[in-house]
Amino acid sequence: MNGVALAVFIFFFLLVTVVGFVAARWRRADLGHLNEWGLGGRSFGTIITWFLLGGDLYTAYTFIAVPALVFGAGALGFFALPYTIIVYPFVFLVMPRLWSVAHKHQYVTPSDFVRGRYGSRGLSLAVAATGILATMPYIALQLVGIQVVLQGMGIGGSAASTLERDLPLFIAFAILAAYTYQSGLRAPALIAFVKDTMIYITVLVAIFYIPAKLGGWGHIFDAAGQTLPHHTPPGALILPQKQFVAYSTLALGSALALFLYPHSITAVLSSAGRNVVRRNAAILPAYSFLLGLLALLGFMAIAAGLKPATNNLAIPELFNKMFPDWFVGFAFAAIAIGALVPAAIMSIAAANLFTRNIYREWLRPDATPREEASMAKLVSLVVKFGALAFVLFLKTEYAINLQLLGGVWILQTLPAVVLGLYTRWFHRGALLLGWAAGILVGTWMAWSAAFKSVAPFTLFGLDTTVYPALVALVVNLLVAAVATPLLDAARADRGSDETAEADYREEAAPPIEALAEGPGSRS
Amino acid sequence: MADRRPGERSTVSRAWYLLLLLPFIGLLWPPFYAKDAPRLGGFPFFYWYQFLWVLLGAGLTAVVYWATTPRRGGRR
């Protein structure tokens, strides 16, 4: 065990714990209301939103898994970069419309919008259930991220007793659960400042310091190019032709799915205006640049001659080998804190969905805002400990497989949520049929491909591999498009639409300038 | 948006949104860039080309933002 690294690690962990609890007093408001606890009062300006979304989307698991994939497979793993580039033009176009209509009608979740737009409880329930199911394994993977880092410091590991292995993880998560319960979305928003700063420092130091010790970038890429073909299965430094379709569909499918996840939408809706969202689409790519550099750490691990037990340990082992002890502690703390921000927001988002679209919609229609908030707080605890139990008692593999399926599933809400922002052409019944067809096809494809991220596919007589989520989305759209005229011909009820075209372009009440300020503008 | 523009001008401002298609074209067709040469600072073309698109994508989004956001008062 590395004592210095551990001490630095614990120091930063305690720091964010304090920040998490203090957050309850930040921009003080009545946290007994779901709009405040679950959306931070929809008050965050450009800078807070940048830190919050950055801390939310680029998760600890990403920091471990992307370089691990590049370490193992080479170029294919780099799809994370085009994915996180093309997502922002999409966000720039689509998310301001969602922000506006949600602000106008006080929607807290995407299901609230679907309920209002289509007057359909069934479709709204489908969207809510998909969101919750896709989020749970994602939270579990944040724990896996912490576990990998702890293992890198020599805590736990396969030889350790159950108590020694799981206790630190349990403590970390209990603390997280406590301050999320108390402070709501304000906690991850404030902690995101610490997290993102630490991640930027870690990556910038890594990309200057490590190549200098390994003989430069050219040498790193050459070493990767020589080693990758000998991996099983063989990797490649430059994307081979047979992976072109896999690469593009992974990038496009992941990009379209990212902002359908409840935790992304929660962060978008917590911002103070549609122009805050638009500005962030232009400045969030800074994190993508960071992610691309981080992915290259996988090649550095190859050039350093590391042979980790699992690919996920490539980055912790690289840091252990290259950095002085105190900086190892700093870098590991950055990743572990990196897990806390998304885990908190994900549990809040899942809690919002359950409270608004299942509890209030189906179980207690007359719940007061106060009852909603206390229900959401409770659910956020249940969700987190569910994820913890998942990681402690089941194989990590299941969490990874389920997270992959979650990506496939969440993309199937695109027609109802995203296309719904533009048109009411689709029949609500047709959208539900399309959703079901997409889920079935996507799940079946992922299942038969043994949960690899890409599945075999024959396209125009050419055998290739493809991201199942995108194929499922095409099936989904076809079913919805064919069923719409059929249901209309059968005079099936289209449901009422409580939104008007102008609602999708509504500005926030205060003038634009007042929203541009950073932290403290309301205090 | 606060000020509604006459039809002609809003068509012009809508055309700016087409710029947002460029990153999709530049990145979703790997045959464009799946090669090693030319290298830049040791980086194979495959890698530095995609990093370049981070900057281009953000720049294009910023341009569209400025071109389509209504200005108030004396600024422009």
Residue A446 belongs to some domain of the structure: no
Range from A20-29, A169-178, A365-374, B40-49 that averages highest in pLDDT: B40-49
For residue range A316-329, list pLDDT tens digits in order.
999 999 999 999 99
Residue type for A1, please?
M
Picking from A292, A320, A324, A317, the residue whose alpha carbon sits closest to that of residue A302 is A317
Q: How many CB pairs under 8 A join A and B?
A: 109
Please, what is the average pLDDT of chain A? 89
Nearest to A507 among B2, B39, B44 (CB): B2
Residue A463 belongs to some domain of the structure: no
Residue A411 belongs to some domain of the structure: no
Nearest to A82 among B21, B50, B62 (CB): B50
> What is the per-residue pLDDT for A159?
55
ipTM comes to 0.89
Q: What is the mean pLDDT of residues A202-218?
A: 93
Q: Which residues in chain A are closer than 8 Å to B41, comparing Cβ atoms?
A: 217-218
Any idea which of A57-61, A78-82, A253-257 has the lowest mean pLDDT?
A57-61
Burial of A322 (0-12, 13-18, 19+ CB in 10 A): buried
Range from A13-27, A130-144, A425-439 that averages highest in pLDDT: A425-439
Nearest to B69 among A75, A275, A289 (CB): A275
Q: What are phi and psi of A459, to 5 degrees?
A: -120, 120
CA distance B6 to chain A (A): 16
For residue range A486-516, list pLDDT tens digits in order.
999 999 999 999 999 999 988 765 444 444 4
Taking a C-beta distance cutoff of 8 angstroms, is the pair B64, B12 a contact?
no
Q: Is the peptide bond before A82 cis (omega within 30 degrees of 0)?
A: no
**Helices and strands, number each (H, E), in chain A:** 22, 2
> What is the per-residue pLDDT for A463?
79
Residue A469 belongs to some domain of the structure: no
Cβ distance of A288 and B54 shorter than 8 Å: yes
Count of residues making up chain B? 76
Sign of the CA dihedral B30, B34, B38, B42? Answer: positive
Residue A513 belongs to some domain of the structure: no
Q: Could you tell me if B62 lies within 8 Å of chain A, comparing CB atoms? A: yes
Q: What is the mean pLDDT of residues A154-176?
A: 75
Cβ distance of A285 and B42 shorter than 8 Å: no
* CATH code of the domain covering residue A341: 1.20.1730.10
pTM listed for this prediction: 0.90
Q: Which residues in chain B are closer than 8 Å to A279, comparing Cβ atoms?
A: 65
Q: Could you tell me if B47 lies within 8 Å of chain A, comparing CB atoms? A: yes
Residue A51 belongs to some domain of the structure: yes
Q: Which domain holds residue A174?
A: 3-395
Q: What is the mean pLDDT of residues A88-116?
A: 95
Specify the number of domains making up chain A. Answer: 1
Cβ distance of A221 and B61 shorter than 8 Å: no
Q: Is pLDDT above 50 for B75?
A: no
Residue A413 belongs to some domain of the structure: no
Predicted confidence band at A396 (pLDDT cuts at 50, 70, 90)?
Answer: confident
Residue A460 belongs to some domain of the structure: no
